[in-house]
């Protein structure tokens, strides 16, 4: 297994990976507005996974939906390395990764460039003063809405009841359209979407093994 340093070096050489540092945010990501033409070379919809970690969900969704393009976003390149290398080794041309902070995400995409967003097992920021750091905080949602298409959907999977309930409150208060939600996905999946339970991240496996119920919700921006 490569070391963390070796993974960082490999990440920087992968054709499906890119990096947007703080000092470059005013310039924006070089592929902003050009992801379909320059990276994927097709006109298929773009789906993001924010805080993708090792990219399990990005890879899983991309395997199920070759008709879509998928981009995983995380700050830790040594984690992204796992998914990026799998995509390269299996010749998955509909997968890419960005190493950057979610705070800078609006500098990576142009208006209406993204069709859908997944947020899978983010840090729940359990302390109340930290709600502004939650990835479903209205401040973060407004960043996403700068590039998410009208009617674009946002999905959340989490084991944390507080985070799940907080997000439901935000959706209601901001008057977004809740598609459906469940506090126990593995026992209540009215959509019948098998990929919601068949694709699992490292943390999902970890929490499920401890008996934690997995929560899910999906909503559209108003």
**Maximum distance among all Cα pairs of the chain, rounded to whole angstroms:** 47
Residues 6+ apart with CB under 8 A from 48: 70, 71, 72, 73, 114, 116, 117, 118
pLDDT lower than 70: segments of the chain: 1, 8-9
pLDDT given for residue 155 in this prediction: 97
Q: pLDDT per residue over 129-157, tens digit each?
A: 788 899 999 999 999 999 999 999 999 99
pLDDT given for residue 202 in this prediction: 79
pLDDT given for residue 222 in this prediction: 81
pLDDT given for residue 136 in this prediction: 97
pTM over 0.85: yes
| Structural domains of the chain, ranges and CATH numbers in brackets | 4-19+26-220 (3.40.50.150)
pLDDT given for residue 8 in this prediction: 65
- Catalytic residue annotation: 123
């Amino acid at each position: 297994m490569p070391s963390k340093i070796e993974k960082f070096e490999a990440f920087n050489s992968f054709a499906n990976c890119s990096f947007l540092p703080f000092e470059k945010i005013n310039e924006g990501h070089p592929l902003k507005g050009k992801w379909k033409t320059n990276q994927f070379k097709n006109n298929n919809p773009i789906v993001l996974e924010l805080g993708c970690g090792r990219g399990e969900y990005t890879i899983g969704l991309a395997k199920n939906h070759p008709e879509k393009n998928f981009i995983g976003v995380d700050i830790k390149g040594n984690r992204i390395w796992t998914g990026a290398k799998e995509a390269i080794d299996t010749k998955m041309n509909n997968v890419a990764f960005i190493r950057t902070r979610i705070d800078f995400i609006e500098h990576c995409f142009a208006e209406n460039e993204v069709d859908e967003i997944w947020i899978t097992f983010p840090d729940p920021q359990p302390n109340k003063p930290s709600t502004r750091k939650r990835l479903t905080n209205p401040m973060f949602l407004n960043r996403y809405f700068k590039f998410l298409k009208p009617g674009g959907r946002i999905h959340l999977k989490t084991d944390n009841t507080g985070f799940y309930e907080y997000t439901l409150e935000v959706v209601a208060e901001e008057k977004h359209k809740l598609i459906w939600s469940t506090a126990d996905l593995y026992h209540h999946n009215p959509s019948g979407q098998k990929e919601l339970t068949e694709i699992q991240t490292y943390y999902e496996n970890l929490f499920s093994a401890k008996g934690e119920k997995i929560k899910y919700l999906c909503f559209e921006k108003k």
